[in-house]
Chain A
Amino acid sequence: MVDALQGLLQGLFGSLFPLVWTLLKIVLIIAPLLLAVAYLTFWERKVIGWMQVRIGPNRVGPWGLIQPIADGLKLLLKEVVIPTGSDKAVFLIAPMFAFAPALAAWAVIPFNDTLVLANVNASLLYIMSITSIGVYGIILSGWASNSKYAFLGGMRSAAQMISYEVAMGLALVVVLMVSNSLNLGDIVQGQGQGYFADKGLGILSWNWLPLLPMFVVYLVSIVAETNRAPFDMAEGESEIVGFHVEYSGMAFAVFFLAEYANMILVSTLASVLFLGGWLSPVGFLPDGILWLFVKISAVLFFFLWIRATFPRYRYDQIMRLGWKVFIPLCLIWLVVVGCWMMSPLNIWK
């Protein structure tokens, strides 16, 4: 069937065919992704509701399932207010800077050993560079709004994001040391080898166990990177106003989508880099894309869980954790793994 479709499109578009074929594949990635983003917001409200012994949204549609669509429609019909004295062009471009990287990074995510849009050899490098663009959206929106709250909120969020990017980068360096490749697919394959994987207990061979401190650093850093609770200085609902305080309607919706798209992206990365991607945890079950979805869902649930559990960090505590705890921890573990791999006890042959 795929071949027939390919032939048909080839006849229709001729030399434009590669572009059309790529666009088709991109739609096949983005459409489920956007659906997942919409229902992640719903799932979050449900989970937090249950954790607080409430029901959560249940009015729109059966079990409230139409809620995210209703929310989207409402935001669509709200006026996009552009405040006086704001830099209009930058004000409208800033949401794009937050959202586009969260989508574009999916180009190199491997879903299983063959299913990947662009199997480039430096995919991790691409992910690191494209995700760091997201901070521009925050700093530009804070600057363009001409509001003191937005300006200060943008400054704080940007400083917070770049602080945790260092810790995240160092954690990824340690992953690279044991993987011997910048390709995400190869990194997953590498996790399928080792003493426990041969014994049929793949779950103990994945990177999370030998690199446990880095896994913890990475998990906490992605929460801080996405400006989520307990590090949600950007939009603490009750007391703080953040960089997008002047945004309304669809311009706000794009920031909102970006936050959730980023959550799904970093959860996927955590699954691919530390939790063995599409690999099965035990030998007697087959590998497959379903495992990847299970792992992504688990990490996403972790996001919601800590949001419902932990009180908000103070800003100086956030910065101290990033600079004075995580960076030394990463550097120490980098040296430890280096020594480990030089010693006869090396498990990454």
Chain B
Amino acid sequence: MLESYFPVFVFILVGIAFGFAPVLTGLIVAPHRPDSEKLSPYECGFEAFEDARMKFDVRYYLIAIIFILFDLEVAFLLPWATIFKEIANTDSVRWFGFIEMMVFIAILVVGYLYAWAKGALDWE
């Protein structure tokens, strides 16, 4: 079971190597002649007058939080969706398995509508 994941693991390592290799080659092969103008961050000709990691709009944060919630919902839906065909074709759990998840989605929709009504999804 777990051995079948061995090629996946090797592939991830190869992928990481392929991600680093070009940058390393570039650092070695390409010329390296830094000066202060060249190294200053791009700011349309201005001298950078403060640290670039400044305060940012709270909406990005909000989007990230809502994303986590929705991604979790998707994670909960996945196992159900995987066996839904069996559920739908097994008489004993048929309606239970269906209605249960519809209730879950209904709760999800209530939260979604609340976020919408509160303007969390707006971006003007």
Which residues on A are within 8 Å of B, measured CB to CB?
18-19, 22-23, 25-26, 30, 75-86, 92, 95-104, 106-108, 117-121, 125-126, 130, 143, 145-152, 155, 158-159, 162-163, 165-166, 169-170, 173-174, 176-182, 241, 245-246, 249-251, 253-254, 257, 315-316, 319-320, 323-324, 327-328, 331, 334-335, 338, 341-342, 346, 348-349
Contact = CB atoms under 8 A, between A and B. Distances in A.
A117 B36 CA distance: 49
Given A23-B10, A159-B64, A319-B123, A182 B34 contact: no
Nearest to A82: B39
6 contacts: A146-B41, A148-B43, A179-B85, A335-B105, A338-B84, A348-B85
B38 interface: yes
B53 A22 contact: no
A245 B10 CA distance: 32
Interface residues of B, number: 70
Interface of B: 4-8, 10-12, 14-16, 18-20, 22-23, 25-27, 29-34, 36, 38-43, 48, 51-54, 56-57, 60, 63-64, 66-67, 70-71, 74, 77-78, 81-86, 88-89, 94-95, 98, 101-102, 105, 108-109, 112, 116, 121, 123-124
A151 B71 contact: no
A257 to B, nearest CB: 8
B81 A177 contact: yes
A250 B22 contact: yes
Given A76-B22, A82-B39, A92-B23, 7 more contacts: A121-B4, A147-B43, A148-B41, A152-B56, A176-B82, A315-B123, A335-B102
Contacts of A100: 12, 15-16, 18-19
A241 B105 contact: no
A145 B5 contact: no
Nearest to B84: A177
A118 B4 contact: yes
B78 A83 contact: no
Contact of B116 (A84, A246, A254, A324): A324
A99 B18 contact: yes
A22 B63 CA distance: 41
Contacts of A143: 53
B55 to A, nearest CB: 11
Nearest to B22: A250
B108 A331 contact: yes
Contact of B60 (A22, A120, A159, A166): A159
A78 B109 CA distance: 51
B26 A173 contact: no
A81 B23 CA distance: 11
